Structure 1
Amino acid sequence: MNYKDDVFVSVNGESFQIQRGVEVEVPEYIAEVLRHSEEQDAHTSLLIEQAVARAEKAE
């Protein structure tokens, strides 16, 4: 997926707004949230591809 807006992350009331494409330093717990988000995006993309393949096969 290609996103263009900034990334907003909030953990326990501490918030970060991160501009895409800009390298920044963040606390490890924020980096972990961002990693999990990327993993979920990848997993969702895979599920969508599988669903499309099943639908095309059923046609």
Structure 2
Amino acid sequence: MLMDDDLFSSRPEDPLASLARQDLDPLSQHELDERIAALEAEIARVRAHSEAVAKHRSAADALFKR
């Protein structure tokens, strides 16, 4: 039996899981190359943000170190 919470989840689907399930067969070589470029750009963006978070954390740790 489905509950209302199952039908109207307040939690959106994980975009990475959705991306991984997409069928790549209909895409042309050009579309695949564009997809790879977009994913590489997203990886670079996430890495840069991760580095900024690490630097911020390190600065906070140094500030509050006893």
TM-score scaled to structure 2, two decimals?
0.55
Structure 2: how far apart are the matches of 1:49 and 1:22?
Answer: 27
Who is 2:30 aligned against?
29
- Structure 1 residue 3, shift from structure 2 partner: 1.6
- The gaps in structure 2 that reach 5 residues or longer are 1-13, 61-66
Who is 2:59 aligned against?
58
Structure 1 ranges of 4+ moved more than 4 A:
none
Aligned ranges 1:1-16 → 2 under 5 Å: 2-3=14-15
More strand by share: 1
Structure 1: how far apart are the matches of 2:36 and 2:56?
Answer: 30
CA deviation string 1:30-52 (max 9, x = no partner): 11110001101111111011000
Point out which structure has higher relative CO (alpha carbons under 8 A, 6+ apart).
1
- The gaps in structure 1 that reach 5 residues or longer are 5-18
More helix by share: 2
How many percent identity over aligned positions?
11
TM-score scaled to structure 1, two decimals?
0.61
The alignment covers a number of residue pairs equal to 44
